[in-house]
Amino acid sequence: MSLEYLFERLARLEQRIRDAVDSRRAADPNPDDPFRGLYLSNETIDALLEGLREPFAPFTDSVPDGRLRPLAERAGLTGVDVELLLVALAPDLDSRFEQFYGYLNDDVTRRRASAGLALRLCGIPEASAAGRARLDADSPLVTCGLLAVGEEERPFLSRTLRVPDRVVNHLLGDDRLAPELAGCARLGTELVEVPGRERLARAIRGRVGLVYLKEHPGGGAEELGVGALAAAGYPALVVDAARWQAEPGRAELTASLRREALLRGAGIVLGPVEDPRLEELAHPAIPLVAHGTGAWDPRWSATPPLQLDALPLSAADRAELWRSRLDGRLAPDVDPGEETAHFVLGPGQIARAAKAAAVTALADDGLVRTDHVRAGARSQNAAGLQRLARRIEPVVGWSDLVLPAGVLSLLDELAARARYRDQVLDEWRMRPGGGRGRGVTGLFAGDSGTGKTMSAEVIAASLGLDLYTVNLATVVDKYVGETEKNLERIFTEASGVNGVLLFDEADAIFGKRSEVRDAHDRYANIESAYLLQRMETFDGIAVLATNLRANLDEAFTRRLDVIVDFPLPDVELRHRLWDRCLGARMPRGVDLDLRFLAEAFELAGGHIRSAAVTGAYLAAEAGRPVAMTDLVGAVAREYRKLGRLCLDREFGPYLAMVTDA
């Protein structure tokens, strides 16, 4: 890029400095003094007292071409402002000006232009109120961050003028972001087609300065803002609202953000906002697009914004975006849109997930397959929920479940609700009113060990999701109101995660409301009432597991989509469970009688698995295949844990093994 315009203006400034030097020498009683600038002689003082301070020759009030002209227009600079900026800029472009200014300042240590020198070089008297106002704290040069006036302890005319390095670099053609913006802001360069882009672009072209986008689940508010700004002819500066608001030196960071936007002629996309002070970033030349998940709060800005909704992409648009991002890399039998139809992902998340899937596939044969697509989609999960719940990556599938056919059918129905809810609720308009969410919730009720947790893991695996088990220790609090706050944090974090949320021992927090006899009953009822309301607005997938279904409030069960009762397994199921729990790799002794174990001992699947593992350890210690004595002894140990007696009629011919154990 040619910089001739800038150096041509510096050449004109240099000529005025020559004239100023000649004038200074003519008025100097001792111009050849070698210590000039280090002290003031009597003759110099007399000359200062006798003479009048006049401004130097005036300049032509015009704004040059190149980067300076559009910057001046955006910042609202006058010709005087531009000339003052050039005077301050000169030492950063040509080191000779340091010596010029040291001479004219009559102080070799002051190598930048002072306010008084800058005014005189622009042909403005030092006592001109209008001229001095161009360097005030509320002047365009200062408020836009283009000029810094330092040394405030000095008289105004001797204060030093400095142009920030970022402004100098910009005028010289450097387009890198200011270093202080690292981690807080970035350039929005990736454009994704999102609904409503053209409408918003028209508003921005029509000089709408402030926009607020309410982001719905799966919506792309940031992508909408970036795309609309690009369509309106503005680059986008994307700002992380949380980091901006948490920055200790927020005022300086805000000034840098506003200056960066002005230098680039960019708009700002800010979000997600919670309680911002948008007036700090406001400028007539900077379109500001803020976004968040809540409603607009009039306290955020005195300027009423244009309010729009950032809606999610349709299923067809999501599928097309997946295919476009993975064009030429997909395995022939993979439909990424279908595999991730139940994921709640915005357009930007889909773009990043596709990139993650392609990178993961490079570790295999390079073709993107179903597991790569789902892994890429899961990579977009927020990490906040892992602080409140335990993340489990599912490793089991439908074939691992040993349950009655009716129970399997209900589990499949729950998975189908999660998989096809977009089609049913959005495309077919089957969503009820009343502000209800799009969540899918199920209740798993049954005795311990009947397969409730494993079933939740299988459902998560079938959907390609992670399972998050809520830790009651992070939820229940003895102080009034704290349990509700903890649950709200969980539900809020879960809204940003594509996963299955499992509340184990759910009766502890979803218990029945009771008659109010004292303050404890009243607050317990408030907690239950809160949960009833929150479950209605939840948009994710949640499973409540309990051993005591009777303890759950009936109002909860009404709001559940599927209720699955897990019975104790019968003989045939127990036989399959014994065989499944022993696995195919464990060596089995010739005396194993799994049919006897299934018929004799009425155990749930969890207890059978525990007995099988115990028997495996006993066999490993003995250095032989697992034998009947190992399994019968393991069952006896399970009985003792459960507080059950080892009866002759149950153990039959193997009772002696138990006695020996």
Q: Which of 19-23, 151-155, 368-372, 568-572 has the lowest mean pLDDT?
A: 19-23
- CATH number of the structural domain spanning residue 475: 3.40.50.300
Q: Are residues 66 and 92 in the same domain?
A: yes
Residue 1 is predicted with a pLDDT of 38
Q: How confident is the model at residue 50 (pLDDT cuts 50, 70, 90)?
A: low
More confident residue, 64 or 44: 44
Residue 432 is predicted with a pLDDT of 64
Checking if the pLDDT of 661 tops 70, the result is: no
Residue 650 is predicted with a pLDDT of 82
- Domain span at residue 152 reads 4-171
Mean pLDDT of 564-583: 95
Mean pLDDT of 619-624: 94
Checking if the pLDDT of 65 tops 60, the result is: no
Quick one: DSSP state of residue 477?
A: -
173, 188, 156: which is closest to 271 by C-alpha?
A: 188
Mean pLDDT of 531-540: 79
Residue 298 is predicted with a pLDDT of 93
Express each pLDDT in 406-424 by its tens digit. 999 999 999 999 999 888 8
More confident residue, 486 or 455: 455
> What is the domain count for the chain?
5
Of these ranges, 1-15, 47-61, 573-587, the one predicted with the greatest mean pLDDT is: 573-587
Give how far the C-alpha of residue 459 lies from the chain's centroid of Cα atoms, to the nearest Å: 27
Of these ranges, 106-120, 384-398, 575-589, the one predicted with the greatest mean pLDDT is: 575-589
Mean pLDDT of 84-103: 87
Rounded CA-CA distance 515/2 in Å is 82
Query: Residue 490 corresponds to which tokens in the numbers above?
Result: 């969980």
- CATH number of the structural domain spanning residue 342: 1.10.8
Q: Are 619 and 630 in contact (CB under 8 A)?
A: yes
Quick one: DSSP state of residue 104?
A: H
Question: CB under 8 Å to 365, separation ≥6 — which residues?
Answer: none
Checking if the pLDDT of 524 tops 60, the result is: no
Q: Can you count the helices (H) and strands (E) in the chain?
A: 29, 14
Q: How confident is the model at residue 109 (pLDDT cuts 50, 70, 90)?
A: confident
Q: Are 265 and 235 in contact (CB under 8 A)?
A: yes
Query: Residue 658 corresponds to which tokens in the numbers above?
Result: 């138990």
3-state SS class at 167: helix
Q: Are residues 526 and 590 in the same domain?
A: no
Mean pLDDT of 522-539: 71
Q: Are residues 210 and 84 in the same domain?
A: no
The crossing angle, in degrees rounded to 10, of helices 79-93 and 68-75 is 130
Q: Could you say which of 171, 189, 209 is where a domain stops?
A: 171
Q: Give the predicted TM-score (pTM) of the model.
A: 0.83
397, 458, 461, 449: which is closest to 603 by C-alpha?
A: 449
Checking if the pLDDT of 45 tops 60, the result is: no
Checking if the pLDDT of 552 tops 90, the result is: no
Express each pLDDT in 69-80 by its tens digit. 899 999 999 999
Express each pLDDT in 270-326 by its tens digit. 999 988 889 999 999 999 999 999 999 999 999 999 999 999 988 889 999 999 999
Residue whose structure tokens are 């596709």: 354
Q: How confident is the model at residue 207 (pLDDT cuts 50, 70, 90)?
A: very high
Instruction: Spell out where 504-574 has E strands.
Output: 541-546, 562-566
Residue 554 is predicted with a pLDDT of 76
Checking if the pLDDT of 496 tops 80, the result is: no
Q: Could you say which of 525, 549, 566 is where a domain stops?
A: 566
Residue 48 is predicted with a pLDDT of 47
Q: How confident is the model at residue 113 (pLDDT cuts 50, 70, 90)?
A: very high
Radius of gyration of the chain (CA): 37
Q: Are residues 148 and 204 in the same domain?
A: no
Q: Are residues 364 and 486 in the same domain?
A: no
Q: Are residues 188 and 224 in the same domain?
A: yes
Residue 29 is predicted with a pLDDT of 60
For residue 23, which phi and psi values (nearest 5 degrees)? -65, -40
Q: Where would I find the H helices in 538-651?
A: 554-558, 571-582, 594-600, 605-622, 628-642, 648-651
Residue 387 included in any domain: no
Checking if the pLDDT of 468 tops 90, the result is: yes
Residue 390 included in any domain: no
Q: Could you say which of 293, 310, 327 is where a domain stops?
A: 310
Residue 309 is predicted with a pLDDT of 95
Please report which helix (H) or strand (E) contains residue 21, including its range. helix 4-27
Q: How confident is the model at residue 64 (pLDDT cuts 50, 70, 90)?
A: very low
User: Could you give the dihedral angle defined by the CA atoms of residues 315, 316, 322 and 327, in that order, rounded to the nearest 10 degrees?
Assistant: 170
Checking if the pLDDT of 520 tops 60, the result is: no
Rounded CA-CA distance 369/357 in Å is 8
Residue 389 included in any domain: no
Residue 23 included in any domain: yes
Residue 386 included in any domain: no
Rounded CA-CA distance 558/555 in Å is 5
Q: Are residues 11 and 156 in the same domain?
A: yes
Q: Does a cis peptide bond (omega within 30 degrees of 0) precede residue 272? A: yes
Q: Are residues 94 and 166 in the same domain?
A: yes
3-state SS class at 140: helix
Q: How confident is the model at residue 355 (pLDDT cuts 50, 70, 90)?
A: very high
Q: Are residues 231 and 338 in the same domain?
A: no
Across the chain, mean pLDDT equals 86
Residue 392 included in any domain: no
Checking if the pLDDT of 634 tops 60, the result is: yes
- End-to-end C-alpha distance for the chain, whole angstroms: 89
Residue 355 included in any domain: yes
Q: Are residues 506 and 583 in the same domain?
A: no
Checking if the pLDDT of 473 tops 90, the result is: no
Q: Which of 199-208, 316-325, 359-368, 546-555 has the lowest mean pLDDT?
A: 546-555
Q: Are residues 558 and 414 in the same domain?
A: yes
Rounded CA-CA distance 374/353 in Å is 9
Checking if the pLDDT of 632 tops 50, the result is: yes
Residue 33 is predicted with a pLDDT of 62
Residue 67 included in any domain: yes
Rounded CA-CA distance 297/627 in Å is 71
Residue 476 is predicted with a pLDDT of 72
Q: Are residues 12 and 147 in the same domain?
A: yes
